[in-house]
Amino acid sequence: MTLIVVKFGGTSMGSPERIRHAAEKVIALHKQGHQVAVVVSAISGETDRLVNLTKAMADDPDPREYAAAITTGEQISTALLAIYLISRGYQARSFNAAQIKILTDANYKSARIQHIETEALTNCFNEKIIPVIAGFQGIDPTGSITALGRGGSDTTAVAIAAALKADECQIFTDVDGVYTCDPRIVPEAKRLARITFDEMLELASLGAKVLQKRSVEFAGKYKVKLRVLSSFAEGNGTLITFEDSSMEQPLVSGIAFNRSEAKLSIRGVPDIPGIAAKIIGPISDAAIDIDMIIQNGSADGTTDLTFTVNREDYLRAFDIVEQIALELKAKEVRGDQKIAKISLVGVGMRSHAGIASKMFDILGKEGIHIQLISTSEIKISVVIDEKYLELAVRALHSGFNLESLETEEFDPIIIPNI
């Protein structure tokens, strides 16, 4: 017997009609004799609404209570889906994270899953009951409710699939797979029939929100067979594969972008060993994550250091850097919140040079100035002025011919489309 975990995202739960449609997919699987565990998100827009309510109570809501409030949307979804399944004559049961025991650390807003008890779920399977589980929630060792970070229902689904050793984890969303770029920004973007785990991890880390990064990490760690599919259209979706294929890999498989960073520069500090640590150390001590760093030397014995942080940490980081600038007698501190990071991702880059220069050339021809660059084996990222984001992404997409990327259908889906 096959065990499948299916997850329905916010849009797939967006209205009573959509919830019924999602439930019919579950019924089709169940009727085929598969064991199905369902993970659901809150109705689209609900989590934002709850976040805003907490912010109406306090500018900086208490993290424990914030997590308790913003994860309630998922709980409503589980019951609604279960009500419909029961009304259709199937046995179903809703579960929140405490009822399953999805155990996490105590980092309330962005908790990590540490362990999942499978007993309640296997009991359901033995009794032919379809379990419907709240995504995005966990409980910490004291039983307090935690949130898994925005987009965290993906991670619940993959973690449940890992715990149950499921045959496949299917993420149903509003696009019919992973595309070469966000189709909302590049309408010509192409669906990838398959994508390697390494590429998916980079795309998710670099801003493609189709899967939460941690869900991809989980899939990698436990080798969960993971597929992204549309709730609304038929098709095989995109399969995330682990084996390096014998097929020739495209140089660039996808483009991700991210508008959630900000840039800080400290200028005219003495160019002496240890200076970078003096500046970056206090930022890390304040638990602010730094992404890119660049240090420029100059002729007069001083240097400039530029780095990027999450936009939500920008003001805090700016205050810290101003303090350091005073101590180091730096010339000035500058900041810019209106930046965007664009990244090309592809495992084919491992074996080919010249991608970076082609990227810079395409951006140069559009008159787009590159502010920062970082590279790794399978990605190149640049930071540019946010106002050129769409232009840059589209120019790169067509410059690398991604609209005509060949992707072979791979390992077709095991369930009937509805």
Give residues in contact with ligand ASP (CB under 6 A): 9-10, 41-42, 47, 73, 135-136, 150-154
To ligand ASP, the closest distance from the beta carbon of 347 in angstroms equals: 27
Rounded Cα distance, 15 and 174, in Å: 13
Nearer to ligand ADP, 180 or 302 (CB): 180
To ligand ADP, the closest distance from the beta carbon of 62 in angstroms equals: 26
To ligand ADP, the closest distance from the beta carbon of 179 in angstroms equals: 4
To ligand ASP, the closest distance from the beta carbon of 265 in angstroms equals: 32
User: Which candidate, 201, 195, 160, places its Cα nearest to that of 376?
Assistant: 201
- The site partner of 179 among ligand ASP, Mg ion, ligand ADP, none (C-beta below 5 to 8 Å per kind) is ligand ADP
Nearer to ligand ADP, 93 or 213 (CB): 213
Q: Using CB under 6 A, which residues numbered 136 to 165 contact ligand ADP? A: 151
Contact 249, 198 (CB under 8 A): no
| Contact flag: residue 49 with ligand ADP (CB under 6 A) | no
In Å, what is the CA distance from 264 to each residue of 104, 276, 370? 34, 13, 15
| Contact flag: residue 10 with ligand ADP (CB under 6 A) | yes
Amino acid identity of residue 271, one-letter, is: D
Nearer to ligand ASP, 137 or 308 (CB): 137
Rounded Cα distance, 17 and 14, in Å: 8
User: What are the strands of the beta sheet with 113-116, ordered from one edge?
Assistant: 113-116, 102-104, 137-139, 145-147
Q: Which residues of the chain form contacts with Mg ion (CB under 5 A)? A: 9, 151
Nearer to ligand ADP, 7 or 93 (CB): 7
Ramachandran angles phi, psi of 280, nearest 5°: -75, -35
Measured at CB, which residue is nearest to ligand ASP? 153
Residue tagged 């993959």 (tokens): 158
- The site partner of 136 among ligand ASP, ligand ADP, Mg ion, none (C-beta below 5 to 8 Å per kind) is ligand ASP
Tokens of 213: 């990064």
- The site partner of 174 among ligand ADP, ligand ASP, Mg ion, none (C-beta below 5 to 8 Å per kind) is ligand ADP
Rounded Cα distance, 310 and 68, in Å: 24
In Å, what is the CA distance from 133 to each residue of 20, 102, 106, 192? 16, 10, 21, 29
Nearer to Mg ion, 147 or 392 (CB): 147
Nearer to ligand ADP, 21 or 93 (CB): 21
User: Which candidate, 288, 271, 294, places its Cα nearest to that of 375?
Assistant: 294
User: Which candidate, 376, 386, 305, 293, places its Cα nearest to that of 339?
Assistant: 386
| Contact flag: residue 254 with ligand ADP (CB under 6 A) | yes
Chosen residue from 66, 95, 136, 179 binding ligand ADP by CB under 6 A: 179
Which residues are near ligand ADP by CB under 6 A?
Answer: 9-12, 41, 151, 173-175, 178-179, 181-182, 184, 203, 208-210, 254
